[in-house]
Structures are given as C-alpha cells and as structure tokens.
Amino acid sequence: MLKNVILDILKLTRKPLNAKDINTELLNKGKKPNQTSIYRALERLEQENLILKINVNDSTAYYEEVKKKHHHLRCLNCNEIECVFDRNLDTEIEKSSLNLSNQGMKVFNYLINFDGLCIKCNN
C-alpha cells in the first residue's frame, strides 16, 4: 500500500520531506504513483496521527513521522529541513506561557522556525 511505503520512507529519512522529495524516493523504489495519490496518502497518514504536517516559512508543506515536541531549521541554501531538539528552549517557552496565563491569556501551542544553514552547507 502506498500509504505504508510513504510512512517507511519518512521513518527511514528521519527528516521532514515535501511531496516532491517523497515522489523522488518513490521513483527510486521503482514506484510511479501520481501526485494525487501521494497527497491522498499523506492526508490519510496525517488524519491517523502517524505523520505530522509541518509548516516552515514558505508555502511548501513538509511531512515527518511523529516525534516528541521539537522545532525546525530551514536551510536557506539547500532547502532541507532539520529537526531541532532543545529542551532549554521549551522550558523557557513554558515559563513564558505561564506568564501569559497570569496575564489572563491562554496558550495552546507555539511554533519556532529557524532560518539558516544546515550542518552540511555550513561546512
């Protein structure tokens, strides 16, 4: 099933991919699904909470397997998205959310995107 193949690809690459990257990976595996089936499979996986759709600072949607809360760095040179895990950052934001609660606001979620260079491009 296309859905399972896509899930495997996302698990193996361990970094967010957009639909075009996924299509390339599928072609490498000798599969030639059309764009519509890819999007439909991604939508299903997202609904089943098996993958996460992430929005970075452009209009392209990226997908990744579900992991614990983290952030992303978009490489301005190669356009790859790196996952960023930073417990300190999360602790600070939790404090900040608490401050906002004390001021009468309510925080449901937050999103941090870094723009910069990935390890590969920065070397």
Q: Whole-angstrom Cα distance, residue 38 to residue 9?
A: 12
Using rule CB under 5 A, residue 73 touches Zn ion: no
Which residues inside 78-97 make contact with Zn ion, applying CB under 5 A? 78, 83
| Beta carbons within 10 angstroms of residue 25's beta carbon | 18
Stretch of 26-34, 40-48, 56-64, 104-112 lying at the interface with Zn ion (CB under 5 A): 56-64
Size of the site for Zn ion (CB under 5 A): 7
Q: Whole-angstrom Cα distance, residue 84 to residue 71?
A: 5
Please calculate the CA angle 116-121-123 and round it to the nearest 5 degrees. 115
Task: Name the DSSP letter for residue 58.
Answer: S
When binding is defined by CB under 5 A, the residue of 77, 91, 96, 101 that contacts Zn ion is: 77
In angstroms, give the least distance from the CB of 68 to Zn ion.
Answer: 10
Three-class secondary structure of residue 116 per DSSP: strand
Nearer to Zn ion, 89 or 121 (CB): 121
What are the structure tokens assigned to 22, written together? Answer: 């996924």
Which residues inside 102-121 make contact with Zn ion, applying CB under 5 A? 118, 121
Nearer to Zn ion, 45 or 118 (CB): 118
In angstroms, give the least distance from the CB of 98 to Zn ion.
Answer: 25
In angstroms, give the least distance from the CB of 107 to Zn ion.
Answer: 21
Check: CB of residue 72 under 8 Å from CB of residue 81: yes
